[in-house]
Structure 1
Amino acid sequence: MNAPVVGLIILAAGASTRMGTPKQLLLYQGRSFLRHTAEIAIASLCQPIVVVLGANAERIKPEVNLLPVQIVENPQWAEGMSSSIRVGIEALSNLNQNIEAVAIALCDQPFISSPLLNQIVEAYQVTRRPIIASEYAGSLGVPALFSHALFPELMSLKTTQGAKQIIKKYSPEVFRIPFPEGAIDIDTPKDYQEFQAIADESLQSRTGI
């Protein structure tokens, strides 16, 4: 059985108003959040990869413009995540007509990993469920995969909520992948400070320093 072609969209168009500085450029393990997420995507089974930029695009672009990803800009980024998903799916469809599914990831979930993305793709390959979603903090969210059959619904999203409403709509059919670290949401300087403390602790426990 041929492996399904699964594209990946990294949503990185937001203005980070609560952070006060583009969170795409915040540092984690010596790299920006966006570069970290893009490198993890490149090392996964997902291909092709589209990065959707919007606010501060010119400042952020140098982080990924030498990587094997397609960068697209969403002029309507202020309308919210739904508009970036539309732009991402259009770009993926132009890159490869045979895409069977799309995975969607955010650049401010620093604990995302290539094995997690691979687990999501493999779950789709085995179960053929229309949605494979990450489960954390008692809810379902991204990174999540959507089969080609749901592209029209993803393209017609109108709210700022993004893909979560589609996950909710089809929740009985969703295959869940545990990702407890997905609950770490970085929106404010305080969130970032708390995250850095968790990341340092995690690094120390891994390295024994």
Structure 2
Amino acid sequence: MNAPHAAVVLAAGGSRRLGHPKQLLTRAGEPLVRRAARLALATAPARVLVIVGADAGAVASALRELPVETALNPDWAQGLSTSLRAAAEALAATAGDCLVLGCDQPALEAHHLQALLALARGSASGCAATFHCGLAGIPAVVPASLLREATGLRGDQGLRGVLRALPAADVGELEAAELRLDVDTPEQLQAAIAAGWVDPAG
């Protein structure tokens, strides 16, 4: 029997291009970081780890009363790779798969995450990823051992480089066009609001 998976929510970024914390944007009144953590919990993981950094206090407060752990990434300004390293260190004793997701894909639903877990179980590498224009990205599922390889990444390098090193046929592919929209810029925020995936500003 496979070891239960862990889930990692990457929520440490500074939202520089957007100008305010995207983690705290809301959908149906729920902060996106809380929504991502709740969707991760719906996959019945052994644990959910939320990596916080910029606006750590407010982001952690948005998670109040959810059965999740938070880990502070003090180096968040140095890029996404530092959050992956923080996750790898916090999950050093984990043997199962790791479901890795962000909090800035407001169209994300639980069925996307369940599909990735199923694809990973059936793939030769134990990995599955969401593919955007032919490139692997998050949400993704990787074995804990592969997550630990992320400790060698630098700057804004994410799991894409680690996944790209694997034979393409060995990685489960989730095609979900709606997940191509992440909220990094004011223009993307307006598109998400227009689609009903993010609440308009108060």
Q: Same fold (TM over 0.5)?
A: yes
Aligned position for 2:78: 79
- The residue identity in structure 1 corresponding to 2:114 is N
User: Structure 1 residues 168, 98: closer, same or farther in 2, change over 3 A?
Assistant: closer
1:53 is matched with 52
Distance 1:171 1:63, change over 3 A: farther
Question: What is the aligned partner in structure 1 of residue 171 from structure 2?
Answer: 174
- In the alignment, structure 1 residue 29 sits paired with structure 2 residue 28: yes
Contact preservation (8 Å) 1:82, 1:157: yes
CA contact (8 A) 1:130 1:150 kept: no
Of 188, 198, 203 in structure 1, the residue corresponding to residue 195 of structure 2 is 198
Segments of structure 2 that go 5 or more residues without pairing to the other structure are: 198-202
Distance 1:128 1:199 in 2: 37
Q: Deviations over 1:79-123 (max 9, x none)?
A: 111110111122223xxx343211110100112221211111122
Percentage of matched positions with identical amino acids: 30
SS where residue 45 of structure 2 aligns?
coil
Within 1, Cα distance between the matches of 2:58 and 2:182?
23
1:124 is aligned with what amino acid? A
Query: Following the alignment from structure 1 to structure 2, what is the Cα–Cα distance between the partners of residues 19 and 199?
Result: 18
Point out where structure 1 has 5 or more consecutive residues left out of the alignment.
201-209
The answer for the alignment partner of 2:138 in structure 1 is 142
Alpha-carbon distance in structure 1 between the residues aligned to 2:148 and 2:62 = 31
- Which residue number corresponds to residue 161 of structure 1? 157
Deviations 1:45-78 (CA, angstroms, capped at 9, x unpaired):
3331100000111122110132101011101111
Question: SS of the residue aligned with 1:199?
Answer: coil
Contact 2:84 2:147 in 1 (8 A): no
Question: Which one has a larger percent helix, Structure 1 or Structure 2?
Answer: 1
Change (3 A) 1:199 1:47: farther
Measured after TM superposition, the shift of residue 165 of structure 1 is: 1.0
Alpha-carbon shift at residue 20 of structure 1 (Å) = 1.0
Consecutive aligned runs of 4 or more in structure 1 exceeding 6 Å deviation: none
| CA shift digits 1:104-149 (9 cap, x unpaired) | 1010011222121111112222335232111233322100111133
Q: Give distance in 2, aligned partners of 1:107 and 1:162.
A: 15
1:171 Cα offset (Å): 4.5
Root mean square deviation of aligned Cα: 1.7
How many residues end up aligned between the 2 structures? Answer: 196
Query: How far, CA to CA, are the matches of 1:171 and 1:33 in structure 2?
Result: 33
State yes or no: 1:104 paired with 2:103: no
Number of the residue aligned with 1:131: 127
AA aligned to 1:120 is L
Matched residue of 2:128: which SS?
strand
